[in-house]
């Protein structure tokens, strides 16, 4: 599976096409950009890349309203769904990479432990399992109040989501390969002598003895 490689190729191709259309970037006044709804800015980003998307808004009775932009990606082996979740009031944006298949209840315990172990070494974003329906998704979040929604910044976040989605798919494939998994999560705790488990002193840092 080469989700990240495919996305990088799409970004590179789109950027080249945009560069041909305009020799110089059109700079909008910062005040105008900041006043523009986040959802509109993300839609313009997707349109500049000629990516097809579906826009959905939450029920009008929900306050504050949450908007979703849904984009489908695929490589030679797999498909995945990229979802932008935008809260205009809090200015928080979450980008999800959703796997096409769900985890059956028989494999929940094993998948939960696989994800928990993987998240310990993920420095940017996380992987999560929805306990209500077994959906597996990668997630990267940003605060649009302090993070510029430039093409470069959004491209970096999308590549992060694609990379985590690749990892999530590998975890899913490994877990579903097990024909008879245990329903007990603690059965999948790594033994201290496991070659994949490092000394805790190499992973975590103790606080100082001085209080602020």
Rounded distance between C-alpha atoms, residue 132 and residue 138, angstroms = 16
User: How much of the chain exceeds pLDDT 70, in percent?
Assistant: 75
Q: Which pLDDT does position 167 carry in this prediction?
A: 96
Rounded distance between C-alpha atoms, residue 204 and residue 200, angstroms = 6
**Whether the predicted model's global pTM rises above the 0.95 cut:** no
Rounded distance between C-alpha atoms, residue 85 and residue 89, angstroms = 12
Query: What pLDDT digit, counting tens, does each position of 64-113 carry?
Result: 789 999 999 987 788 899 999 999 999 999 999 999 999 999 999 999 99
Q: Is the peptide bond before 64 cis (omega within 30 degrees of 0)?
A: yes
pLDDT at 20 > cutoff 60? no
For range 126-144, the mean pLDDT:
97
pLDDT at 23 > cutoff 60? no
Tokens of 66: 């949450």
pLDDT at 187 > cutoff 70? yes
Report how far apart the first and last C-alpha atoms of the chain are (Å, whole number): 48
Task: List the beta bridge partners of residue 84.
Answer: 69, 95
Task: List the beta bridge partners of residue 108.
Answer: none
Q: Which pLDDT does position 15 carry in this prediction?
A: 62
Backbone φ, ψ for residue 156 (5° rounding): -65, -45
Hey, where are the domains in the chain?
3-20+31-179
Among 22-31, 45-54, 118-127, 202-211, the minimum mean pLDDT is found in 22-31
pLDDT at 196 > cutoff 90? no
C-beta of residue 74 within 8 angstroms of C-beta of residue 54 = no
Tokens of 72: 């489908």
Check if CATH label 3.40.50.920 holds for domain 3-20+31-179. no
pLDDT at 26 > cutoff 50? no
Q: Which pLDDT does position 190 carry in this prediction?
A: 72
Query: What pLDDT digit, counting tens, does each position of 141-170 carry?
Result: 999 999 999 999 999 999 999 999 999 999
């Amino acid at each position: 599976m080469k989700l990240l490689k495919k996305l990088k190729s799409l970004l590179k191709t789109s950027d080249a096409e945009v560069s041909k259309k305009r020799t110089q970037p059109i700079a909008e006044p910062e005040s105008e950009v900041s006043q523009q709804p986040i959802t509109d800015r993300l839609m313009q980003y997707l349109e500049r890349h000629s990516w097809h998307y579906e826009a959905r808004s939450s029920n009008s009775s929900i306050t504050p309203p949450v908007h979703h932009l849904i984009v489908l990606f695929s490589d030679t082996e797999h498909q995945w769904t990229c979802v932008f979740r935008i809260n205009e009031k809090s200015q928080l944006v979450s980008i999800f990479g959703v796997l096409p298949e769900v985890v059956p209840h028989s494999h929940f315990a094993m998948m939960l432990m696989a994800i928990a172990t993987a998240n310990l070494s993920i420095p940017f974003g996380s992987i999560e399992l929805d306990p209500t329906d077994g959906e597996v998704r990668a997630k990267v979040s940003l605060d649009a109040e302090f993070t510029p929604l430039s093409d470069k910044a959004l491209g970096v976040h999308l590549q992060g989501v694609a990379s985590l989605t690749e990892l999530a798919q590998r975890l899913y494939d490994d877990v579903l390969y097990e024909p008879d998994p245990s329903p007990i999560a603690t059965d999948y705790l790594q033994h201290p002598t496991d070659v994949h488990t490092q000394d805790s002193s190499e992973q975590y840092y103790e606080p100082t003895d001085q209080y602020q």
